[in-house]
Homo-oligomer: A and B are copies of this chain.
């Protein structure tokens, strides 16, 4: 997996309006109804992470989930991060809306 250029990342981010690129990673914050809903989404995301063998840097406070994705090996963002972001969106969006 090769590191994507800023230009490549910004182009891909047009399809991911929840996500922003800074500090060599892509970041998103999602708000849920309550802790249970938030942690349920986290559990579903955790399974995707294992399936993709790619893991986020993420934090949670009550109903808010903050996620940063980057690829450690290249110290930047790769297709792996966008694959995981896409999987996360598929989980979060139906709950979030």
CB A19 to nearest CB in B, in angstroms, measures 18
The 8 Å CB contact of A35, one of B42, B50, B60, is: B50
Q: Mark each residue of chain A from 48 to 70: 1 if its CB lies under 8 Å from any CB of chain B, else 0.
A: 01100001111111100000000
Partner of A55, one of B50, B58, B61: B61
B62 x A50 contact (CB < 8 A) = no
| Residue pair A57, B59 in contact (C-beta under 8 Å) | yes
A32 is an interface residue with CB less than 8 A from chain B: no
A-B contact pairs, 19 of them (CB 8 A): A35-B46, A35-B49, A35-B50, A35-B55, A36-B50, A39-B43, A39-B46, A42-B42, A43-B43, A55-B61, A55-B62, A56-B60, A56-B61, A57-B60, A57-B61, A58-B59, A58-B60, A59-B59, A59-B60
